[in-house]
Structure 1
Amino acid sequence: MSLPYDQNLPVNKLASVFANTSASYKFYWFLAILELVEQGHTYIPKRMLFARMISNSWYTVNYFHVSFGKQDLIQESVRATLRIEGLRVNENKNVINTVLEKTPSTETIKILNHFDKNVPHWFISSWFSGNRNNIYSLSQNFEHGCIYRLEKDAIEINPLWISYLKSNSKILRDFCYWNLSLFLQKRNPNVPDISNKISRGLSRNSLMKQTNEYWKLVFAELGAVNCIFTNKRLIFEEKKFALDHFVPHAFVSHDLIWNLIPIDKTFNYSKGDKLPLIEKHFDDFFNLQKLAYEIVKSHNAKNKYLEDYLTIFPDLQQDKGLDYLRYRQTVQPLLTIANNNGFSYLKD
C-alpha cells in the first residue's frame, strides 16, 4: 500500500518514516496528527497529541489485550494511565482525551512527557540528519518540505502539507493502520483479527438475531436450558439470560454461533471477559451446543447460523454431527492463547 502522490511534496519522506519501526510510537503519533488536523488544528500542543496516542491505543491494550512487544512502552503507559486516573476499560475516547489534557497528576504528566524524548523529532528524521537538537533547529523553517516544525511544547504543521493531510486523511489513516497491523501481527502471530482490534472502538453487534433465529428454537423445544456456569434454569420468556461468548469476544472478535451460549444474565455481568475453565465448563458447553445444533437442524436444515459450524467442521454437511474432540481441540488453544495475552480465567 502506497501513499497518494503529490508533485509539490516529498511524500517519499513521509512513507519512509514507517519503513523501519521497532515500536508503535510513530503510528500513534501520526494518527493523532491526522485526527487533529482534520479538526482544524495546525498549531498543536504536544500534550494533545500524547493524549491521543494513549486514547487511540486504549482499547487495543485494555480490552483486546494485544501485545506490543517488550521494547514498546506504550502498552505499559496505557495500563498505568488506566490505574492512575481511575478510568474504565470501556471509557469514551473523548473522555480519555479530556482527562489526559487536563489532569493535574504528576504521574500521568510524566507518562505523557516520556513520548517527548524521542517521538516528535525522530518522526521527521527522514528529512534531516543529526541529533535531537539539530532536528529541532532545522525544522524551524520547514527545511526540505518538513511536515511540521518543532517547539518545546508544540508542533506547527507546515502549511504546504495541510491540504494534503486533510484531503487524503482516509488513505493516510488506512496506510497507518495497515502498517500498524503488520507490526502487531508479528508480535501476536496467534491472535485473530488484529486489524479490527486497532482500528475500531468497543462497538459490538447486537446478538438479537442469533437469539431469535437460533436459540429461540432451542428454548421452544426444551422449555428451558440450564446455565453452564450457575446451573440456573433459564426460560426464554423471562429474559433473564444473555447470549455469551464462551471464548471472549475481545479475543476472537466474532459472533459465530458455535461460540455463543445462553447464560444467566446476572452472572454474565460479573463474568466480563474472563475465560471459562476447560475442564470444568467445556463438557456442559459442548453438550448444549450439540443439542442446539440438532434441534435447529431438525426444524430448518437451511438455517443460516448452522453454516457457522463449518469453520470447525468442514464436512458437517455430510450428515456428521459435532465431534467432541475436534470441538475441544478448537476451543482449548484459543483459551490458552488468550490467557497468554492477558485474559484471566474464572476462579474455580
Structure 2
Amino acid sequence: MMKDPSYCYKFYWLEAIVQLISENRTEATYDEIINEMIANAWYSVLEFHIHLSCIGGDSTIKDNLERAVLKLKELSDLAPNASKIEIKNAIAEFDKQLHAEKQALTNNVPYKALSGFANKTGEHISLDSSAGRMIAYYNALSAGDILLPYTFGTDSGLNRKLTFSEAWVRMIKDNTVNILGWIQCEKVKWLQNNNPEVPGLIYKLAPLDEKMRKLSHVRKLWDGILELRNINDVFTNDPIEPVKYDIDHFIPWSFVMNDELWNLMPMDSSLNSAKNNRLPDWDDFFIRFARNQYIMYGLVHEKEGIRKLYESCYRDNLHSIWANQELYRKGNSEAEFFGISEKNMRPVYDSARRQGYDVWEKRYAG
C-alpha cells in the first residue's frame, strides 16, 4: 500500500485511517480523515520545519498536506506545539478557508493508497484514471476477488464516505501498534530522504516530552564557573546572575535534537522565551558565544573542581567526537578554539536556516 509513493501524504492518509479504526470507527468521510492528517503533520511542519515532500527550485511547497498545515497556521496563528484538540478546533473554525487545500488532497491519495491491489486479477485499469473510474473499479474489486481495506460511498467531494472492511478492521485493531510503527518507519525513511540535512528526524514526528532534555550537569558546570568569575550574557552583554539564568541552545534544540555541550550557553532567563525556537544572528552573537565557551574551556583545564563538573557531563552532553578530540583538548589558543567551533557549528547553523528556522531579531547590545 505504500510502495514507491510520490508524496508523503499517503503515509498520513493510512495513519489517519488506522487511528480512526482504533477509535472504533467503521466509516469516515474524506473530510474527517484529512482533518486527522493535518493534525498529525502539524508538529513536524511547524515545530521542526520538516518538508513533507521535495521543494521546488523556486522554493515553492509542492506537498498539498504541507500547504494545508501552513494555511491553517496563517489563519489561526496557533502555536507550533498546539495540542491535537486545539488544531482540530482551528480546522473546524476555518473549514471554509481550508476547502481548496483539503479538496486537493482528495484528488489522488484515496485511490493511490489502494494501487497495490490494482491489476492483480480480472479487469485492468490505468492508475491515472479519473476518480470516478477508480472508485467504480475498487468497489467492484472489493466485492469480488480481493477484499480491500475500504470501499467508497456515493457522496461527492469532502463528504464522500469510506466504509472500512470488517475483516480489515479486526486485523487493524489486533495489530494497531505494529501497523502504526510500520507506517512511522516508512514515513521516517521518506522524510529523511527529502530532508537530508535534518538530524534526528525520527524524533520530529510528534510532540516530545521536555524531560528528554538533559541539562542538569551542564547547569552545575556553569554554576561552578559563576562562583569563580563573571560571565556576560551573550545577548545583553550584562553579567549573568547565578540564580536568574537558563541553559539554552545556541542552535535550537528542535533542530539539533541533542544537548551537546558545544551548543549550550548560560542565558538570562527573561530572554529565553523570547528567543524561543529561533537562531541568534551569527555575525552578532557567535563570537560572544564562543568567548564564553572558551572561558569554560580554560577553567576546565585550570581548576580541578571545574574539571570534575565537566567530566560529569560525559554521559549526557559530550558525545560529539569533534568536540572531545578537537574543541576541548588541552592547548588550544583562543583563535584555534574559535576556529574549531565555527568550522563545526556553522554548517549546522546554515542547515537550520535552509530548513526554514527564523533568525531572532535581537538587537546587538554593545
Superposition TM-score, scaled by structure 2 size = 0.82
AA at the equivalent of 1:40: N
Percent of aligned positions that are identical: 21
What are the superposed Cα offsets for residues 256-291 of structure 1, whole Å, 9 maximum, x if unpaired? 222111111222221122212222211211121122
Distance 1:258 1:146 in 2: 52
Letter in 1 for 2:79: R
Query: Is 2:223 aligned against 1:216?
Result: yes
* Structure 2 CA distance for partners of 1:154 and 1:85, relative to 1, 3 Å: farther
Shift of 1:146: 0.5
Q: Which of 103, 110, 115 is matched with 2:105 structurally?
A: 115
Report the AA paired with residue 122 of structure 1: K
Output aligned runs, 1:1-348, within 5 Å. 17-67=1-51, 68-70=53-55, 71-100=62-91, 102-103=92-93, 105-128=95-118, 129-130=125-126, 131=129, 132-140=131-139, 142-143=142-143, 144-151=146-153, 152=155, 153-198=160-205, 200-204=206-210, 205-207=212-214, 209-222=216-229, 224-237=230-243, 240-296=244-300, 298-299=304-305, 300-301=307-308, 303-306=311-314, 308=318, 310-315=320-325, 319-321=330-332, 323-347=337-361
Shift of 1:232: 2.5
In the TM superposition, residue 61 of structure 1 has moved relative to its aligned partner by 0.9
- Equivalent residue of 1:182, what SS? helix
Secondary structure of residue in 1 paired with 2:117: coil
Contact 2:262 2:323 survives alignment (8 Å): no
In 2, Cα distance between equivalents of 1:45 and 1:295: 63
Query: 1:292 Cα deviation (Å)?
Result: 2.0
Structure 1 pair 320–34 and aligned structure 2 pair: CA distance change class (3 A): farther
- Residue identity matched to 1:228: V
Structure 1 residue 296 displacement after superposition: 4.7
Contact residue 228 and residue 284 of structure 1 kept, 8 A: yes
Deviations 1:146-177 (A, max 9, x none): 01111232211111111221222222222212
Where structure 2 has 5 or more consecutive residues not aligned to the other structure, the ranges are 56-61, 119-124
Alpha-carbon RMSD: 2.3
* Structure 2 SS opposite 1:233: coil
Query: Offset of 1:245 from its aligned partner?
Result: 0.7
TM-score (norm 1): 0.86
Count of aligned residue pairs for this structure pair: 327
Q: Distance in 2 between matches of 1:64 and 1:269?
A: 17
For the 8 Å contact 1:37–1:165, the answer to whether it is kept is: yes
- Distance (Å, rounded) in 2 between the aligned partners of 1:35 and 1:170: 10
- Return the alpha-carbon distance in structure 1 between the equivalents of residues 250 and 339 of structure 2: 17
User: Which secondary structure does the structure 2 equivalent of 1:234 belong to?
Assistant: coil
Q: Distance in 2 between matches of 1:209 and 1:195?
A: 25
Q: Is the 8 A contact 2:247 2:264 kept in 1?
A: yes
User: What amino acid is aligned across from residue 9 of structure 2 in structure 1?
Assistant: Y
